[in-house]
Amino acid sequence: FCQQLIKATQISCACIVLALYYVNRLREAYPFVQGSIGSEVRLFTTALVLANKYLDDNTFTNKTWADVSHIPVHELNIMEVEFLSALNYRIHVPHQQFFSWA
């Protein structure tokens, strides 16, 4: 799934790594939360959406993300807001912290 999503969007390596960083931060904040089967796909997609919106000037719309991920756009919108809320809307990562983590 991840390979297909990355290939379809041609998203940058920086966005992919930032998305993984966001997933890591989310897991650190909520270590005991267990997702249902398939939730990792939704989590990764949402992290890519946020990373793409943060790093790139020309971003895909949520409709485009919904088309390539096969997640309904209304669900993707909800997941985006919930993910942002879980990160306390702090999606900026200082360079030193990011490169240390990467």
Quick one: pLDDT at residue 97? 86
Quick one: pLDDT at residue 56? 86
CATH code, domain carrying 46: 1.10.472.10
Quick one: pLDDT at residue 48? 95
Enclosing domain of residue 53: 1-100
Give first-to-last CA distance, the chain, whole Å. Answer: 22
- How many domains is the chain built from? 1
pTM assigned to the model: 0.90
How far, in Å, CA of 46 to CA of 52, rounded? 10
| pLDDT greater than 90 at residue 21 | yes
